[in-house]
Amino acid sequence: MVLRGSSPGREGTLHGRDTMLIHRSGPSLPSGEGPRVTSKQEAVPVNPFSRSLRAGAVAMLLAGAIATPAVAAEPAPPNEQMQALLDQLAGLGGEPIDTLEPSEARTQPSVADAVTALLESRGASTAPEPVGDVEDRTIPGPASDLPVRIYTPDGDGPFPLIVYYHGGGFVIATIDTYDSSARALTNAAEAIVISVEYRKAPEYPFPAAVDDAYAAYLWATDNAAEINGDPERVAVAGESAGGNLATVVSLRARDAGDQPPVHQLLVYPLTSFSLDFPSVETYADAKPLNRAALEWFGGHYLADPSQAADPDVSPLDAPDLSDLPPATIIAAQIDPLLSEGRDYADALRDAGVSVSYRRYDGVTHEFFGTGAVVDEGTEAVTFAGQRLADAFAHLPDTFTAANDGSPPVPSWSLLGLLLLASGAFLLVTLRPLSPRSTRR
């Protein structure tokens, strides 16, 4: 793995969920600046005897320019539901994948298997979430035909499309492993989801997966009408390694001058092959993803370690991230990929790309498709579906979601906030001191 300097100034964690302003366009903001939603507990302490300091604090609160602390040095504990799922996964008897050959690792129990086992232990239904229709087929790929699974929602269409790339570190897992995520997104976004079975390393190292991912995206834009889709409304989405593929597809489309995705949904994306991130240290021993697994995945995906510097491998290190589609980034608190996902959100924002970032506390990597047993999985899918639906409806992509679920805040309201801040400063500094406020 190639080490890269981390950016601790970009790290941010909030009480509950971590949220960040969507910055639509315009000049870059310095790292750590820009409006963001914060909790009351994080307000900067104000000296009650200083009117200037009090006014400055008001301005900072209104502008939202409050720094957030870095990833905690001590690992956060899973919540009760997440812990029950992790216990179930451990009970399935899997071995650490970094001790196995890829062929052996592909037979290990997955989080999806643990969800099924947990539901069975409770006497609950294990039937998959219903959608309008599911079709398995193949499409042309750069080297051979690619298996895809096409999920269609109920309704008449034509529907928007989501080209979805599953996780698995480019080495393990299949469209079957991530069936629950694809079904949930189909219903949440009311869109056709094309789940792509791209080639895996080490049999097919980089750039095979990227080439397959891009070929599938182009196929979707060219053949949308064939599957009752709208070719003008095509988004990309992915989890973990699949999040890497989704944003790299967006970069390739920009550079090639092809139709850009209308949105990119990146769920705890792998954006750098460096291990030099605070969350990699904090969650070095986390489950189901940890530092040893990251090293193992990287060693199999890259035929040459020098490839880690390629933007198609580490998009966080791309020299230019401007003119990319609006992005939604979903993060898990207990995840070695937490830091690089947040850094990527900041890097996109600094490049003028509209970004919405939301972190879910008390859950681990792979929580997104676990809505049947983990509430945060359902919440994250709902949030992602709304973001995608808004993009498909061509709504202004300029809001941030607050921790308490309050309505989106348009980015143009920042000007109003700054004006209010200026007014508050003048009112506090220019009004006469009352006798009660005068120090004796």
Q: How far apart are CA 137 and CA 366, in angstroms?
A: 26
Task: Please check the confidence at residue 333 and state whether its pLDDT lies above 50.
Answer: yes
Worst-scoring range by mean pLDDT, 95-109, 123-137, 413-427? Answer: 413-427
Q: What is the pLDDT of residues 380-397, one digit of tens each?
A: 999 999 999 999 998 554
Rg of the chain, C-alpha, whole Å = 23
Worst-scoring range by mean pLDDT, 46-50, 170-174, 360-364? Answer: 46-50
Cβ atoms of residues 191 and 388 within 8 Å? yes
Tell me the pLDDT band of 256, cut-offs 50, 70 and 90.
Answer: very high
Task: Please check the confidence at residue 30 and state whether its pLDDT lies above 90.
Answer: no
Cβ atoms of residues 190 and 159 within 8 Å? yes
Amino acid at 436: R
Question: To the nearest whole percent, how much of the chain has pLDDT over 90?
Answer: 73
Q: Is 413 a catalytic residue?
A: no
Q: In terms of C-beta distances under 8 Å and separation of at least 24 residues, what long-range contacts does 95-98 make, across chains too?
A: 96/292, 96/293, 97/172, 97/293, 97/296, 98/292, 98/293, 98/295, 98/296
Q: Which of 18, 335, 390, 397 is catalytic?
A: 335
Question: To the nearest whole percent, how much of the chain has pLDDT over 70?
Answer: 74
Task: Please check the confidence at residue 158 and state whether its pLDDT lies above 80.
Answer: yes
Q: Which of 195, 365, 397, 411 is catalytic?
A: 365
Query: Can you give the pLDDT at residue 321?
Result: 98
Please report how many Cα atoms fall inside a 13 Å half-sphere around the Cα of residue 138, on the Cβ side. 7
Tell me the pLDDT band of 70, cut-offs 50, 70 and 90.
Answer: low
Amino acid at 143: A
pLDDT, average across residues 318-347: 98
Look at 403 and 117; give whichever has higher pLDDT: 117
Interior CA angle at 237 toward 234 and 242, to 5°? 140
Q: At what angle do helices 241-256 and 208-223 cross, to 10 degrees?
A: 60
Query: Can you give the pLDDT at residue 415?
Result: 39
* Burial of residue 230 (number of CB atoms within 10 Å: 0-12, 13-18, 19+): middle
* pTM given for the model: 0.79
pLDDT, average across residues 259-264: 98
Closest CA relative to residue 111, chosen from 78, 150, 151, 144:
78
Q: Is 166 a catalytic residue?
A: no
Task: Please check the confidence at residue 9 and state whether its pLDDT lies above 60.
Answer: no
Amino acid at 108: Q
Q: Which of 7, 240, 314, 354 is catalytic?
A: 240
Query: Can you give the pLDDT at residue 395?
Result: 59
What separation in angstroms does the CA of 383 have from each of 144, 152, 260, 356, 405?
36, 20, 22, 10, 10
Q: How far apart are CA 245 and CA 200, in angstroms?
A: 13
Query: Can you give the pLDDT at residue 388?
Result: 98
Q: How far apart are CA 93 and CA 380, in angstroms?
A: 28
Query: What is the layout of strands, in order, in the sheet containing 133-139?
Result: 18-20, 355-364, 327-334, 264-267, 229-239, 159-165, 192-196, 146-152, 133-139
β partners of residue 229: 159
